[in-house]
Amino acid sequence: MRDIDDPRALEDLRDLADYDAGAPPLDEETRRRGRARLLATITAQGADRTGRPAFRLTSPVRRRPVLRIALSGAVAAAVTAGVLVAVQHDRDDDGRGRTAKPPVASLPPMRNVSARTVLNGAAAYARQHEKPVSPRDDQFVYTKEIIKETDQKTGRTKTHVDENWRSVDGSRRSWIMEVGKGWWSPPLADNESMWPPQDWGTLRELPTDPERLILEIQGDFFGGKEKNTSLDAITDQEWSHIHFSLAGLLKLVPVMPEGLRPAAYEALGMVPGVKAVPNQKDAKGRVGVAITYDDPTLPEGASGYGGYFIFDPVTYAFLGFRDQRSSGDGKDMKIYTQLSYLDSWAIVDRAKEHPSAAG
């Protein structure tokens, strides 16, 4: 390899810069990512000739082990269907949630951006727009969620309005709805826990630094082994569980303590296999950029948990989810495409109390 000060090397670089491949010019974001990747390859110690770092993740595992947690019936059903939504919106000065209004109605063509750029942008947007909320232990978090389901076979669409009242400290029964059907969810027993946590005290203890949040999740799910102190030592199987946990946290916890949602977005951007997909429509027909996950531990063609998180391509404000749900078996099985978003949220004093009645 020639030294960069070699005049012949400089001439070669100039020739390369003048080369026209007939392709459209790269945008500035793509150029920046390319430069960063090239620099990382050049400077990485122990990198091989393909640019891969010296360490390797373990071989893919084809099945997901059982998590070391007990999900309540409500959360387990929600995780299976993947229909609930979670996003931090602006609030009125009295701390009550209000209808979400996206900043951009008509969107320009999609830019070529990475998943990490989108999720870091979403984290920055969330930090800028979130306001501290401190509900009392005896209160409830009210959410109103809109889910539009389209039967993939018939094309018929049905809209569900799900209203939930979750106990702040988990000591009271909560009212949970899923695609139009509701039930009372009892408090957890003394020997029970769940992921994602629903009580405010547990949520407040989660790290708001993205790397520490990842290591906390990894340590909780794989407690039988020595805790990792670096992301480099995390295996494919562990990354799969970490993604599952972060996606569940973001989808099933509509209101979080300050700083937790931005940290979860940034942590999600660190998961290998997370990717950005442009030109994805949300429930309101807005075109955004979606984040999804290719799980290396699943068989080829199988889809993992999480669906698509859809963001505004300009501001990176969260717009909603796209997911898939099935019902029935065999020839009677129906598959639905779900588009969902959080309409509003509030802190109220009693279950089944609407914000308008709270005064």
31-49, pLDDT tens digit by residue? Answer: 444 444 443 333 333 333 3
Token couple for 208: 């708001």
pLDDT greater than 90 at residue 241? yes
Report the pLDDT averaged over residues 236-265.
94
Model pLDDT for residues 156-195, shown as the tens digit of each residue = 999 999 999 999 999 999 999 999 999 999 998 888 888 8
CB 212 within 8 A of CB 220: no
pLDDT, residue 8, reads 52
Q: What is the H or E stretch that residue 328 is in? A: none
CB 351 within 8 A of CB 143: no
Q: Is residue 162 part of a domain?
A: yes
pLDDT, residue 190, reads 84
Report the pLDDT averaged over residues 199-228.
84
Token couple for 337: 């495409």
Model pLDDT for residues 99-134, shown as the tens digit of each residue = 444 444 444 444 568 999 999 999 999 999 998 888
pLDDT, residue 35, reads 45
Query: How does the average pLDDT of the chain come out, rounded?
Result: 75
CB 90 within 8 A of CB 98: yes
Report the pLDDT averaged over residues 333-342.
93
Report the pLDDT averaged over residues 67-91.
35
pLDDT band, very low/low/confident/very high, at 4 (cuts 50, 70, 90): very low
Model pLDDT for residues 312-332, shown as the tens digit of each residue = 999 999 999 999 988 888 888
Q: Is residue 2 part of a domain?
A: no
CB 111 within 8 A of CB 29: yes
- In the chain, the percentage of residues whose pLDDT exceeds 90 is 50
Number of structural domains the chain divides into: 1
pLDDT, residue 132, reads 83
Starting from the edge strand earliest in sequence, which strands make up the sheet with 308-311, in order? 181-185, 174-178, 157-167, 140-151, 334-348, 318-327, 308-311, 287-293, 274-281
pLDDT, residue 62, reads 29
Q: Is residue 9 part of a domain?
A: no
CA separation for the pair 301, 123 (Å, rounded)? 30
pLDDT, residue 219, reads 81
Task: Please give the backbone phi and psi of residue 31, each rounded to the nearest 5 degrees, phi first.
Answer: -60, -45
pLDDT, residue 185, reads 93
Q: Is residue 22 part of a domain?
A: no
Report the pLDDT averaged over residues 263-292.
95
pLDDT greater than 80 at residue 310? yes
Q: Is residue 19 part of a domain?
A: no
Report the pLDDT averaged over residues 200-213.
94
pLDDT, residue 359, reads 54
Model pLDDT for residues 81-95, shown as the tens digit of each residue = 333 333 333 334 344
Instruction: Give 293: exposed, middle or buried? Use CB within 10 Å, 0-12, 13-18, 19+.
Output: buried
Domain holding 141, by residue range, is 73-357
pLDDT, residue 306, reads 74
Q: Is residue 60 part of a domain?
A: no
Q: Is residue 279 part of a domain?
A: yes
Task: Please give the backbone phi and psi of residue 149, each rounded to the nearest 5 degrees, phi first.
Answer: -110, 130
Of residues 169 and 70, more confidence is placed in 169
Q: Is the pTM of this model over 0.85?
A: no
Q: Is residue 61 part of a domain?
A: no
Q: Closest by alpha carbon to 175, among 164, 186, 160?
A: 164
